[in-house]
Chains A and B, each alone.
Chain A
Amino acid sequence: MRGLKYQLKSVSRDKFCLMTFLLPILVAVALNFMGSIDLSTLGELHFGVLENDLSPQTVTWLERYGPVMAYQTPEELTAAIKEPSTNVIGVNANGDSIKTAISGDELDIFQQAAATLPALYEQRAEAELVKVLTLERPDILESFQYIFIPAVLIVAMFMGCTFNAMNIISEKEDGVAFVNEILPMTPCQYILQKVVVGFLFGSLSSIITACICFQLSWNHWGLMLALILLSSFVAALIGLFTGKLSEGLMIGVVYIKIIMLVFIAVPVLCALIGVSGPLAVVCNIVPSQPAFDGIMALSAGNMGTAAKDAGILTVHAAAWFLLYVLTAAPRRHR
């Protein structure tokens, strides 16, 4: 217990470790903050018009669908339409009707909106009479955030890896690793102390991130907690391996970056491409894949898949622990 106290004390003085612990939480707060104000406007239509070209009634009608920006000259309007970061639709008067202009590089949804806008304008009087029944969206994650939030949570879960790797590398650099060799401490105690530090910080970071990002029911929280604890444990063990293998701080940083990239890229690509069959089973070798899949399943309310993923993570935890005990730990006896 005393050893653990020293480990925690050493980590608490390490700014790098504290920063990595705080980073996912800050990103989660930023994502939540952005989600509440901005992301819905990304799918909105933006219109560009020439000053004094359209009647005020037409501009008011356009404003029902999205913000309207008036430009002084046709050149300014053309530049705004062509600007690649926005999807501005140019609207000009065309006798009693309107005509539209686009850049041509917009997504299909915006091109279709521009193509049908004159028809909408002609039918505006009839459209106002129609009843619209708006249903509340089911409690699923917003489309833009659905992949970011599990990705941030994955980063938080696997922060334990960074903690442990950095911790062991700095012990090596400061010569503490040699002192550890002669301390009256068994390999099991050593592993336990090291794993607990990364595990505690990784889990804590993930739990806070999950609290900020998810509104889950209590029974879902049980499974979420299981996913978090298991992934953090596996990550802490992988961190020990990384620390052992790294010769110096710089090599360690490169290894951590590669591990982090693989941990994020595999599940995100699997989710985007929709991998299935034997390849999906192979992807489970990367421990972040079942964790990510489990979180996605939980957010969609699919308890069965989440439980299966928790099972895969349990196998991972046992396998990594055995691997560490069998390979890395016995060297300490020599």
Chain B
Amino acid sequence: MGKGFCALFKKDCRMLVSGKFFLMAIGFLILYTAYVNLGYIRFMQMEPYNVYLYDPAGIQTEKSPLVQIVSSMEDMDTALLSDANGVGLDSSTGEVRVVLYKGAEHVDRHRADYALSLLEPSASPAPEVLGTNTPEQKARKEITCELLFFELAAVGFLGIAAVLFKEKGMGVIRVHAILPARKDLFLLSKLAVFLLSDLAFAVLLTLLNVGLADGAAVLPAILLQTAILSLMMALVGLLCALLLKDFRQFTLAYLVIAIFAATPVFLSANTSIKFDWIGYHPFYHVYMGLKNAYFGTAISSVYYAGTVGAILLLFLVVRLAFHREIGKEG
């Protein structure tokens, strides 16, 4: 059995090499790393609002150094036009007047009051810091988690299906029906190949983008979540390859999964936008599992029980579909 498994495993590896699967994975790894380090980290910065003060008579003597002085109302208009989030304070008439461009109602109120507070700064107690991550660490963990999920659930999934459809087209399943090896080995070797390549991808992506020290600390938990997601996606990919007629039909299913299933999950899990129904979305829980692993948050045992159950169920369904396919071919 071990020998049969090794032979199948080697064959699958060769198949992936010839299908440029590893090359594509390395390409995506370079692209993601460049995006995180050159683009995302620089993009994810939001400075506090700029406050511009027009005070020709010099009444505001206690103002904070954060306040920027402008010499005329025209200068203030120009500054606000180029910095629509900024707040203008006009003190030319003796009384202070706040000038700002309209945004969200709550934010506008805060901007106005914040700007006024800078005119008479008072020493308030510094906020208590409860977490351990810096903004950059958080941004790095968040985007790496998103990219890993996207890679496993969308890009890797496409690769898996491409390889399987190729095998199906070449008649490998038909050949396998008459081989003197256990039928389940065909499925297990596929799962093992994709699992190992996904784990290697997860290690490299995490260490390159989260950092060696931070990444290594959370790596075991991430690998566990990667294994869960990788097994699920490989099994769904296998099922699609066995049930759907051709790769073209599959690309339709893939487009729907990649765009419409993943977008609400990303929105709910990463922003303050929370959909009421997101709890019923299976991807959401898997994504949150991965995210919790990156941030070192505890994951409930119910989730693990659910994922093990889902993987077993998927495996049984794939096994059934595979035996049906072999029967058809035979």
Interface residues of A (CB under 8 A from B): 15-16, 19, 23, 27, 30, 38, 40-46, 64-66, 78, 81-82, 84-87, 89-90, 94, 97, 99-120, 122-124, 126-127, 130-138, 140, 170, 249-250, 253-254, 258, 261, 265, 268-269, 272-273
In the complex, are the beta carbons of B97 and A131 less than 8 A apart?
Answer: yes
Q: A100-B127, A119-B121, A137-B84 known; A112 and B48 CB under 8 Å?
A: yes
At the interface, yes or no: B68 with Cβ under 8 Å from chain A?
A: no
* CB of B281 to closest CB in A, whole Å: 15
User: Which 3 pairs, one residue from A and one from B, show the smallest C-beta to C-beta distance?
Assistant: A103-B131, A118-B124, A105-B138
In the complex, are the beta carbons of A109 and B130 less than 8 A apart?
Answer: no
Q: What are 24 of the A-B contact pairs (CB < 8 Å)? A: A19-B252, A23-B255, A45-B110, A65-B110, A99-B128, A100-B127, A101-B129, A104-B130, A104-B131, A109-B47, A113-B114, A115-B127, A120-B113, A120-B114, A120-B117, A124-B113, A127-B116, A127-B117, A131-B97, A132-B112, A134-B101, A137-B101, A250-B19, A254-B20
B162's partner among A27, A78, A250, A265 (CB-CB below 8 A) is: A250
Q: Please, which residues of chain A bring their CB within 8 A of the CB of B35?
A: 265, 269
Q: A101-B128, A109-B48, A137-B102 known; A272 and B43 CB under 8 Å?
A: yes
Q: A44-B104, A109-B48, A132-B100 known; A102 and B42 CB under 8 Å?
A: no
Q: Please, which residues of chain A bring their CB within 8 A of the CB of B158?
A: 253
In the complex, are the beta carbons of B128 and A100 less than 8 A apart?
Answer: yes
Bound together, the chains give a CA A249 to CA B246 distance in angstroms of: 10
Bound together, the chains give a CA A138 to CA B130 distance in angstroms of: 40
Give the residue name and chain of the B residue nearest to A94 (CB).
Answer: B125
Q: Please, which residues of chain B bring their CB within 8 A of the CB of A170?
A: 248
* CB of A140 to closest CB in B, whole Å: 8
Bound together, the chains give a CA A111 to CA B49 distance in angstroms of: 12
Which of under 10, 10 to 19, 20 to 34, or 35 or more describes the interface residues of B? 35 or more
Q: Please, which residues of chain A bring their CB within 8 A of the CB of B109?
A: 64-65
Bound together, the chains give a CA A87 to CA B109 distance in angstroms of: 18
Bound together, the chains give a CA A109 to CA B110 distance in angstroms of: 12
In the complex, are the beta carbons of A16 and B273 less than 8 A apart?
Answer: no
In the complex, are the beta carbons of B99 and A135 less than 8 A apart?
Answer: yes
At the interface, yes or no: B92 with Cβ under 8 Å from chain A?
A: no
Residues from 112 to 168 in B contacting A, C-beta threshold 8 Å: 112-114, 116-117, 120-122, 124-135, 137-138, 141-142, 158, 162, 165-166
In the complex, are the beta carbons of B122 and A134 less than 8 A apart?
Answer: no
At the interface, yes or no: B39 with Cβ under 8 Å from chain A?
A: yes
In the complex, are the beta carbons of B117 and A116 less than 8 A apart?
Answer: yes
In the complex, are the beta carbons of B272 and A46 less than 8 A apart?
Answer: yes
At the interface, yes or no: B57 with Cβ under 8 Å from chain A?
A: no
Give the residue name and chain of the A residue nearest to B40 (CB).
Answer: A272
Q: Number of contacts between A and B (CB, 8 Å)?
A: 217
Q: A99-B125, A116-B117 known; A107 and B44 CB under 8 Å?
A: yes
A134's partner among B43, B96, B102 (CB-CB below 8 A) is: B102
Q: SS class of chain A's interface: helix, strand, loop or mixed?
A: helix
Q: Please, which residues of chain A bring their CB within 8 A of the CB of B134?
A: 104-105
Bound together, the chains give a CA A105 to CA B117 distance in angstroms of: 24
Bits for B191-208, please: 1 = Cβ < 8 Å to A, else 0. Answer: 000000000000000000
Give the residue name and chain of the A residue nearest to B273 (CB).
Answer: A38
Q: Please, which residues of chain A bring their CB within 8 A of the CB of B128?
A: 90, 99-102
Q: Please, which residues of chain A bring their CB within 8 A of the CB of B166?
A: 250
In the complex, are the beta carbons of B291 and A137 less than 8 A apart?
Answer: no
In the complex, are the beta carbons of A108 and B120 less than 8 A apart?
Answer: no
Bound together, the chains give a CA A109 to CA B107 distance in angstroms of: 12
In the complex, are the beta carbons of A134 and B108 less than 8 A apart?
Answer: yes
* CB of A259 to closest CB in B, whole Å: 13
Q: A131-B97, A261-B31, A273-B39 known; A84 and B255 CB under 8 Å?
A: no
B114's partner among A43, A82, A116 (CB-CB below 8 A) is: A116
Bound together, the chains give a CA A266 to CA B122 distance in angstroms of: 47
In the complex, are the beta carbons of B46 and A119 less than 8 A apart?
Answer: no
Give the residue name and chain of the B residue nearest to A136 (CB).
Answer: B102
Not counting A45-B110, A107-B46, A123-B120, a sample of 13 additional A-B residue pairs whose C-beta atoms are within 8 angstroms of each other reads: A16-B248, A16-B251, A43-B46, A66-B110, A85-B272, A102-B129, A104-B129, A135-B101, A137-B101, A138-B101, A253-B247, A265-B35, A269-B39
Give the residue name and chain of the A residue nearest to B87 (CB).
Answer: A132
Name the residue among A100, A119, A124 with the largest chain B CB count within 10 angstroms.
Answer: A119
In the complex, are the beta carbons of B39 and A44 less than 8 A apart?
Answer: no
Bound together, the chains give a CA A268 to CA B43 distance in angstroms of: 11
* CB of A74 to closest CB in B, whole Å: 11
Q: Please, which residues of chain B bring their CB within 8 A of the CB of A119?
A: 117, 121-122, 124
Q: Please, which residues of chain A bring their CB within 8 A of the CB of B1?
A: none
In the complex, are the beta carbons of A108 and B162 less than 8 A apart?
Answer: no
Bound together, the chains give a CA A208 to CA B64 distance in angstroms of: 50
Give the residue name and chain of the A residue nearest to B27 (CB).
Answer: A258
Bound together, the chains give a CA A254 to CA B28 distance in angstroms of: 12
Q: Please, which residues of chain B bring their CB within 8 A of the CB of A124?
A: 113
B127's partner among A78, A101, A109, A120 (CB-CB below 8 A) is: A101
Q: Please, which residues of chain A bring their CB within 8 A of the CB of B259?
A: 23, 27
